Structure 1
């Protein structure tokens, strides 16, 4: 058994939404270091361009700014990607949003915007990119869709993040439904449920890591290598038989809760 080839992504193309920062950037860097060509998308063009420039020092990385919370944004991203590639091996649905407010004050606008991004966008991105994923599968290894859920989709945190809990739980179940439908076509769908990783979205982990680490069984917050390793596993040959499952990467938080 060639274990190096088991985790290799040489010659494969990947698209990571929300790839300009945080978990998306960690994943994009990991895929690059395993040999993939990586395209990153984010709503803020300047940040997306800057990250792609920095990651290009590792391997080929291209910025494709887009707002995937809307159907127009999804179609624009597909068109922009199609100007560079005809096939897509790996789609990482990472773009997401968090919002917290008291039960009696929670706004509809926040609910709609965030649920569209966290749960609706992964489905319609997969639908729109399906022809390219099938083309990739016809020419080589299994195609992959990796949805980035959250440990908060599996158990409750103390904050009143109603839509976040609901949308991430929905994404976990959506992953199962998509996986069963697409596996016979050679497209493997799985998910990752991160715990505490330092990011602009998870400001508690970013700014107060030393304070919260004692509540994590592993006694630390997640590091870039933890997230990159999980994504590489699922994206590579090593993860081909992981169908519809959600890989929990949280240092033990979910079971400790």
Structure 2
């Protein structure tokens, strides 16, 4: 097997939740450019359809937008139904949809806690659970299906913000990968986590040159992350090259957590 075959995801069916912006869009773009058949979902129809069209146009690949609200079980069921109507198997599931809320410990309430835990932790579990029949259909001993959950450097290093539910949810996502890997290995499914550091997105905005210098000064690699950094790691995990990697957390953060 040559290097191109080893890292190929051509014609693999990939689902990326929260794929219209930020980290999810970076990963979706990478998969589409590499020849995968990509589905992205988001809550806003105009946004997800526009993103899918732009990804397809810029990569020359295949990206389809689906509307789904993963904060509810009904929304997850709707996503799985929509994909099942189009595909008989799924090879890659990237659980990326997420949110964050920060407030002082004295003021942190249920309105901050519950939505973050629901979308960051509850939704990934039930999404992968509902997709298991399609993932089982997509995996083989040599080419397992791949679950990639998006964790965070915030689960490896305590940052300056008071975002308690976010840190708790991402830490749980990191640990859950081990349980998933242990149980799903027999079904020819791997389960891993990518823990991104600082990537510019709607959730993490660099608002000034001073802030950029401050962020960059904390990163041993001396820069913020790029789309290629995320796409490359996700493609590796979903390719034959990553078929024997499971239950792992891969930091993609330029050394920020050191």
TM-score range, shorter chain: over 0.9
Q: 3-state DSSP class of the match of 1:23?
A: helix
Residue 172 of structure 2 corresponds to which residue in structure 1?
170
Aligned residues: 255
Kindly state the Cα deviation for residue 205 of structure 1 after the two structures are TM-superposed. 7.9
Kindly state the Cα deviation for residue 81 of structure 1 after the two structures are TM-superposed. 1.0
Q: Would you say the 8 A contact 1:199–1:206 is kept in 2?
A: no
Are 1:92 and 2:89 matched, yes or no? no
Which contiguous aligned blocks of 4+ residues in structure 1 show a shift greater than 3 angstroms? 204-208
Q: TM-score, normalised by structure 2?
A: 0.95
Kindly state the Cα deviation for residue 141 of structure 1 after the two structures are TM-superposed. 2.1
Q: Would you say the 8 A contact 1:205–1:221 is kept in 2?
A: no
Q: What are the superposed Cα offsets for residues 139-175 of structure 1, whole Å, 9 maximum, x if unpaired?
A: 9821000000001011200110000111000000011
Inter-CA distance 65–95: structure 2 relative to 1 (3 Å threshold)? same
Inter-CA distance 46–206: structure 2 relative to 1 (3 Å threshold)? farther
Q: Would you say the 8 A contact 1:93–1:148 is kept in 2?
A: yes
Residue 248 of structure 1 corresponds to which residue in structure 2?
251
Q: What are the superposed Cα offsets for residues 187-222 of structure 1, whole Å, 9 maximum, x if unpaired?
A: 000010000000001124898434311111111000
My pick for the range that moved more, 197-206 or 222-231, is 197-206
Which sections of structure 2, spanning at least 5 residues, go unmatched?
A: none
Are 1:225 and 2:228 matched, yes or no? yes
Residue 106 of structure 1 corresponds to which residue in structure 2?
108
**Following superposition of structure 1 onto structure 2, how do residues 29-44 of structure 1 map, counting pairs within 5 Å?**
29-44=29-44
Inter-CA distance 93–60: structure 2 relative to 1 (3 Å threshold)? same
**Following superposition of structure 1 onto structure 2, how do residues 117-136 of structure 1 map, counting pairs within 5 Å?**
117-136=119-138
Aligned-residue RMSD, C-alpha = 1.5
Which sections of structure 1, spanning at least 5 residues, go unmatched?
A: none
Residue 216 of structure 1 corresponds to which residue in structure 2?
219
Inter-CA distance 38–140: structure 2 relative to 1 (3 Å threshold)? farther
Q: 3-state DSSP class of the match of 2:257?
A: helix
Q: For residues 254 and 100 of structure 1, what CA distance do their matches in structure 2 show?
A: 20
Q: For residues 80 and 98 of structure 1, what CA distance do their matches in structure 2 show?
A: 27
Q: For residues 227 and 6 of structure 1, what CA distance do their matches in structure 2 show?
A: 18
